[in-house]
Amino acid sequence: MHRQRSPNLPVSVAPLKVRAQKRQPDQVRQVLWLGWLTALVVGLAAAAPAKAAPLQLPALVAPASQEHHVGKVIFVELVTPDLDAAKQFYGGLFGWTFHDLQANRTEYAEALLDGRPVAGLIQKKIPAGAHRQPAWLSFIGTRDVDAAKNMALQHGAKVLVEPRSVPDRGREAVLADPQGAVFAVLASSSGDPPDVLAAPGEWIWSSLMTSDPDTDAAFYQALFDYEVFELPADQGAQHLMLASDNYARASANSLPVNRPNAHPYWLNYVRVGDAVKMTARVVALGGRVLVEPRVDRHGGKVAVVADPMGAPFGLLEWPDTESKKVTQ
């Protein structure tokens, strides 16, 4: 397969073809994360009695299109114990507005920016005595969810939620990769969002933080036919870029040096104009700063924060002159 390099990178990068390895996830350290994120989709399917009307989720793209981008993070959903507090926080931070949906005991909110859907939020109470952290779940685009599931199993993944069809949304499943990071695959029935530069307040990047970037990159390459590029990283760490359709989609990174035994996870970033001001706003709205703003490889600043309920996400400055397109 032909490999290309991105002109947006400050230095040359070497394309990689990494070999997939079968590896079973550590089930002990997965218990809390898998149970919590599994509730995101299971809750939508099982919260109401079987004969009750299901929650009608909105289509990803309206009007519908035939545009599809395999390997792109096409949607994200937050599972949170306090939907009202989450709406107040993200609305105050990014200017999101919300369209509330409810069916029986399931409460869901579609987040909008200037009328465009940017995320979904679902309420799921934490059982008394449980220690579960709210989180954002990444939905990666695919043409065939069932084939993606089978390929994932062949390469050491675990199925958390079997493939199911959702009216107006498409077909989806929730998986855990060989290192235990949880993600979803989605074949959108209305098409995928177009490859345009995200506006401030929209999701612009996704990073996989993992104990074994090589193995995980090989796993995702098998699922989504990514091109994999090795980027400069600190000594002892790895930073791999994953690309499809000639666009940079995500990165696979070593876990932070101060948390080498942390559970692998996907971290999504929202584009902002000023990361320093936005981290201050996060704190003012009741959130926390997990990683203080620092200069990223593109010259802008990046930070990692958490909402008042504890769900982590990133803030990333991205200049209008920079493209995510990968060209020769």
Q: How confident is the model at residue 84 (pLDDT cuts 50, 70, 90)?
A: very high
Percent of the chain predicted with pLDDT > 70: 81
pLDDT for 250: 96
Nearest-angstrom CA–CA distance, 295 and 299: 6
User: Is the model's pLDDT at 236 over the cut of 70?
Assistant: no
Short-list 253, 266, 254, 256, CA closest to 177:
266
pLDDT for 240: 93
- Tell me, what amino acid is at 115? G
Torsion sign across C-alpha atoms 81, 77, 112, 100: negative
User: Is the model's pLDDT at 16 over the cut of 60?
Assistant: no
pLDDT tens track for 26-79: 333 343 444 445 554 444 444 444 445 567 888 999 999 999 999 999 999 999
Nearest-angstrom CA–CA distance, 121 and 138: 12
**H or E element at residue 185:** strand 182-188
- Tell me, what amino acid is at 118? V
Higher-confidence residue of 77 and 259: namely 77
**H or E element at residue 293:** strand 288-295
pLDDT for 320: 85
Q: Region 201-222: what's the mean pLDDT?
A: 95
User: Does domain 14-19+26-44+66-317 sit in CATH 3.10.180.10?
Assistant: yes
pLDDT for 327: 67
pLDDT for 269: 97
Q: How confident is the model at residue 25 (pLDDT cuts 50, 70, 90)?
A: very low
User: Is the model's pLDDT at 328 over the cut of 60?
Assistant: no
* Among the ranges given (3-17, 113-127, 219-233), the one the predictor scored with the smallest mean pLDDT: 3-17
Cross-sheet strand order for the sheet of 227-231: 14-16, 227-231, 239-244, 247-254, 203-210, 265-272, 312-317, 301-306, 288-295
3-class DSSP assignment, residue 114: coil
* Among the ranges given (99-113, 247-261, 279-293), the one the predictor scored with the smallest mean pLDDT: 247-261
**Contact at 8 Å (CB) between 194 and 187?**
no
Domain edges within the chain:
14-19+26-44+66-317
User: Is the model's pLDDT at 103 over the cut of 80?
Assistant: no
| DSSP letter, residue 160 | E
pLDDT tens track for 273-282: 999 999 999 9
- 145 CB-near residues (< 8 Å, 6+ apart): 163, 171, 172, 173, 185, 186, 187
User: Is the model's pLDDT at 17 over the cut of 90?
Assistant: no
How many Cβ atoms sit within 10 Å of the Cβ of residue 320? 7
